[in-house]
């Protein structure tokens, strides 16, 4: 199993993301694993967008559609939480590829107010 968990944004037609191997993250009692990564820290402190050749200095992390991937070992399922505007085939395929989700069941949640633009 090579599933990954982590966070992502979609900025200027680019998937900006950071992952961790799900197997390396501690499971909760229900079998869920989530990364320790935080959108605000990765955007504002670590300047993650620079790794993708994007110049987004002086922008806030919440100004771009974003999401998170978690995994449940008990269900062998990845859960993708995302802004509903990202629910497009080419974006979803990119997320699946970058998070190594080709051989896993996936459930999408796109109505989470946490990931809607503010």
Strands 105-109 and 77-82: parallel
Taking a C-beta distance cutoff of 8 angstroms, is the pair 97, 106 a contact? no
Give the pLDDT confidence score for residue 110 in this predicted structure.
79
Give the pLDDT confidence score for residue 51 in this predicted structure.
95
Mean pLDDT for 28-54 is 94
pLDDT in tens, 3-27: 999 999 999 999 999 999 999 999 9
Classified as helix, coil or strand, 66 is: strand
For residue 64, what are its two tokens? 């771009």
Q: What is the mean pLDDT of the chain?
A: 91
pLDDT in tens, 74-105: 999 999 999 988 999 999 999 999 999 988 99
**Residue 82 bridge partners (DSSP):** 67
**Residue 32 bridge partners (DSSP):** 72
Give the pLDDT confidence score for residue 84 in this predicted structure.
87
How far apart CA 33 and CA 83 sit, in angstroms, is 21
């Amino acid at each position: 199993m090579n599933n990954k968990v982590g966070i992502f944004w979609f900025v200027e037609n680019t998937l900006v993301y950071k992952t961790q191997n799900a197997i390396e993250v501690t499971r909760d009692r229900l079998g869920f694993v989530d990364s320790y990564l935080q959108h605000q820290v990765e955007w504002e402190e670590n300047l993650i967008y620079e790794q993708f050749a994007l110049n987004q200095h002086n922008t806030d992390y919440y100004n771009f559609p974003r999401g998170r991937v978690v995994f449940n070992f008990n269900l062998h399922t990845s859960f993708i939480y995302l802004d509903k505007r990202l629910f497009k085939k080419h974006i979803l395929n990119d997320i699946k590829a970058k998070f190594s989700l080709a051989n896993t069941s996936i459930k999408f949640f796109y109505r989470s107010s946490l990931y809607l633009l503010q």
